[in-house]
Structure 1
Amino acid sequence: MDDRPNYITPDGYRRLREEYEALFGVERPKLVETISWAAGNGDRSENGDYIYGRKRLREIDRRIGWLSKRMAKAAVVDPASQPDRNRVFFGATVTLADDNDEERIVTLVGEDEADAGSGRVSWSSPIARAIRGAAVGDVRRVRLPSGEKDYEIVAIGYPEPGRLQ
């Protein structure tokens, strides 16, 4: 992991925090209790509850470690407080049109919140890097795995201040 901050929306940070709290405060203690019970049943080498429990505990501890590192590096940026709403910055929802006038709507979010299927792209993805700083009417060339494609910025939107995303 590099030293750049983990830009994330308030909603994305909340989801990371909820997952961390659920794993650390609920799932892990239940699993430790099950492992303790299974360990007290005798031979651990053939005890499925014990073996599976230890394996699952390692997975949970790894995920908790990863989540805590991501949250420690988090730089929460609220897109609703963006002063320049005429340009594409972190948190913007952008309508793009390609050469065939096919529109695509993307929202620039943190790496941990990206979901391309729902139009949420990482702010460091090729398409986001190409359109950052653009204004409505600008045309930007994007390098995609399928080749280069030109997109025109049709609309830029940000959440309203005080509204959840």
Structure 2
Amino acid sequence: MSRAHVRESDGDAPEDLPELPLSRHPNYVTPRGLALLQARLGALEADIARLAPEAVDHRQRRAALDRERRWLVARIASAQPVGGPRPADRVAFGARVTVIDEQGATTRYRIVGEDEAEPEAGLISWTSPLARALIGLAVGDVATWRRPAGDCDIEVQAIAFPDD
């Protein structure tokens, strides 16, 4: 069998890594969200600086870090901070919203940017089905949250806008 068309690795070049995908949505961020992205970039750059450039075993790691750095630089460059006056009586980006569901369970969420979202901590992306159901509502309004586990009606109990 001919090996003329088989690419063999010389062990020196890192594998080509595909770029990390960028969201198609506007990159709205809270001040906290932007600070988190900037801190993450700073930590990443420190990690890159610690890698020995001549170490062959670090090349793949360096390629992955460089890729993540490009993604973070793009996210920071496209960031659109949202702050200032917001409608205190309506759910909007940055709002902390307290809701009650059909079973009477009360939960608090904050609507944040995609990169800041952490659902386990109550931080939900403005692009999520829950946030989309809540945005524009006032206290006392009921929305249907369409979710894989089945639709759920939720009522807005309180709206606040943190100062961060």
- Structure 2: how far apart are the matches of 1:11 and 1:121? 14
Identify the match of residue 93 of structure 1 among 87, 92, 96: 96
Correspondence for 1:10 among 2, 24, 31: 31
Distance 1:73 1:83 in 2: 22
Aligned residues: CA RMSD: 1.3
TM-score (norm 2): 0.82
- C-alpha change, 1:15 and 1:2, in structure 2 (3 Å) is closer
2:50 is aligned with 1:30: yes
Structure 2: which 5+ runs fail to align?
1-21
The aligned residue for residue 44 of structure 1 is none
Asked if 1:54 is matched to 2:59, the reply is yes
The residue type paired with residue 56 of structure 1 is R
Match of 1:132 among 119, 132, 135: 135
Look up the equivalent residue of 1:28 and give its one-letter code: I
Whether 1:20 and 2:41 are equivalent positions in the alignment is yes
2:75 is the counterpart of 1:70: yes
For residues 82 and 86 of structure 2, what CA distance do their matches in structure 1 show? 12
Kindly provide the CA deviation profile for residues 97-122 of structure 1, in whole angstroms up to 9, marking residues without a partner as x.
11121111100000000000010000
TM-score under structure 1 normalisation?
0.82
Q: Distance in 1 between matches of 2:34 and 2:155?
A: 31
Which runs of no fewer than 5 residues in structure 1 stay unpaired?
39-49
Give structure 1 regions of 4+ aligned residues with deviation exceeding 6 angstroms. none
Structure that is richer in helix per residue: 1
Partners of 2:47 and 2:25 lie apart in 1 by: 31
Per-residue deviation, residues 59-114 of structure 1 (Å, max 9, x unmatched): 10010011011111110112xx2331110000000010111211111000000000
Q: Percent identity?
A: 40
